[in-house]
C-alpha cells in the first residue's frame, strides 16, 4: 500500500484505523519536495513495517537533491512522476520526451542505493508511451494512477490489465500499485463508491491510497480513506472466515 504522509498521520491518530495497517508494510510518501523533509526519521508504528519514499516531479530536482545528500538515510524509495498536471509542475523540457528522464531517474536512484518507483508518464502518443515502457527494465515498482476512472469498473480494470501487460512485456513481474481516491471522473467519490474498485484490484497488485486536496475539494477527506481501509479489511476477514 502507498499512502501519503498526511494520510498516515491521520490513520495513526485514529485508534480504530491504526492497528489495521499492522503488518501491511505500507510505503509512506513523505510530504514536501525539497530537503529538509517534514519527517527527519521513521515515524510510523514499527508494527506497520513501513518503508519511506520521496516523490519527484522533476528528474533535474532529483539530481540536485541527491548531489546535496538531501535524501534521508532511512528513505528506501524515490519516485519519478512526469505529467502535465503534477504538483509541483514537471519542467516543460521533461514533458515532450519523458523516456530519457525515467531512465536517468532510475539509474540515479540505484546508483545511490535506493529503489525506484515510476508513475504517470503515459499521456503522450503511442510511440512516446512505448519509449517510457521500454525503460521499465530499471523500475522496482510502477504506480498506475487509475483513480480517475474508478467509478467505471470496466475502464478501471481495463486500464490496470493493459498497463500491466505492457510493463511486464519489458520487465516481467515488476510490482504494481493501483490508484484509488476520492476524486474520479471530475467528481467527489464516497467510500461506498470506492469499495467496488478496491474489490476489483488484482490480487497481484497493491493499492495507492491517492487521497488529498483536489479540484473538487481543497480539504483532504481522509475520513473517506479510513472508511475504505476499514471496509476492505473487514471484507477480507469475513472472506477468510467464510471461504467459498
**What string of pLDDT tens digits covers the 244 residues of the chain?**
999 998 999 999 999 999 999 999 999 998 766 666 666 677 899 999 999 999 999 999 999 999 988 898 899 999 999 988 878 889 999 998 999 999 999 999 999 999 999 998 887 788 999 999 999 999 999 999 999 899 999 999 999 999 999 999 999 989 999 999 999 988 999 999 999 999 999 999 999 999 888 888 888 899 999 999 998 887 877 767 766 6
CA atoms of 241 and 244, how far apart (whole Å): 10
Pairing verdict, β 183-184 and 187-188: antiparallel
pLDDT of residue 41: 73
State the greatest distance between any 2 C-alpha atoms of the chain, in Å, as a whole number.
55
The CATH T-level fold of domain 2-241 is TIM Barrel (3.20.20)
pLDDT of residue 243: 66
pLDDT of residue 43: 85
Pairing verdict, β 77-82 and 115-120: parallel
Does the pTM surpass 0.85? The reply is: yes
175 CB contacts (<8 Å, ≥6 apart)? 140, 141, 142, 205, 206
> Which grid cell sits at 174?
515488476
CA atoms of 101 and 95, how far apart (whole Å): 9
E strands, 66-193, in order: 77-82, 115-120, 141-144, 176-180, 183-184, 187-188
80 CB contacts (<8 Å, ≥6 apart)? 55, 56, 57, 59, 62, 101, 102, 105, 106, 116, 117, 118, 119, 121
CA atoms of 76 and 110, how far apart (whole Å): 11
CA atoms of 180 and 156, how far apart (whole Å): 10
pLDDT of residue 33: 61
Amino acid at each position: 500500500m502507498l499512502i501519503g504522509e498526511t494520510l498516515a498521520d491521520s490513520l495513526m491518530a485514529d485508534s480504530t484505523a491504526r492497528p489495521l495497517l499492522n503488518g501491511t508494510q505500507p510505503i509512506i510518501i513523505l510530504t514536501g519536495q525539497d530537503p529538509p523533509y517534514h519527517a527527519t526519521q521513521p515515524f510510523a508504528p514499527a508494527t506497520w513495517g513501513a518503508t519511506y519514499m520521496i516523490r519527484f516531479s522533476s528528474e533535474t530536482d532529483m539530481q540536485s537533491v541527491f548531489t546535496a545528500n538531501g535524501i534521508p538515510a532511512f528513505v528506501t524509495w524515490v519516485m519519478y512522476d512526469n505529467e502535465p498536471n503534477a504538483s509541483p509542475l514537471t519542467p516543460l523540457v521533461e514533458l515532450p520526451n519523458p523516456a530519457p528522464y525515467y531512465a536517468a531517474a532510475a539509474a540515479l536512484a540505484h546508483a545511490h542505493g535506493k529503489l525506484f518507483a515510476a508513475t504517470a508518464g503515459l499521456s503522450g502518443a503511442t510511440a512516446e508511451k512505448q519509449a517510457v515502457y521500454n525503460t521499465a527494465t530499471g523500475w522496482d515498482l510502477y504506480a498506475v494512477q487509475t483513480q480517475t476512472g474508478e467509478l467505471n469498473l470496466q475502464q478501471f480494470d481495463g486500464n490496470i490489465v493493459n498497463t500491466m501487460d505492457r510493463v511486464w512485456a519489458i520487465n516481467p513481474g515488476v510490482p504494481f500499485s493501483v490508484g484509488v481516491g476520492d476524486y474520479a471522473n471530475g467528481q467527489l467519490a464516497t467510500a461506498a463508491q470506492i469499495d467496488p474498485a478496491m474489490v476489483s484490484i488484482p490480487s497481484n497488485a497493491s493499492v495507492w491510497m491517492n487521497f488529498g486536496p483536489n479540484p473538487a475539494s481543497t480539504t483532504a477527506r481522509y475520513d473517506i480513506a479510513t472508511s475504505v481501509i476499514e471496509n476492505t479489511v473487514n471484507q477480507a476477514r469475513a472472506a477468510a472466515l467464510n471461504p467459498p
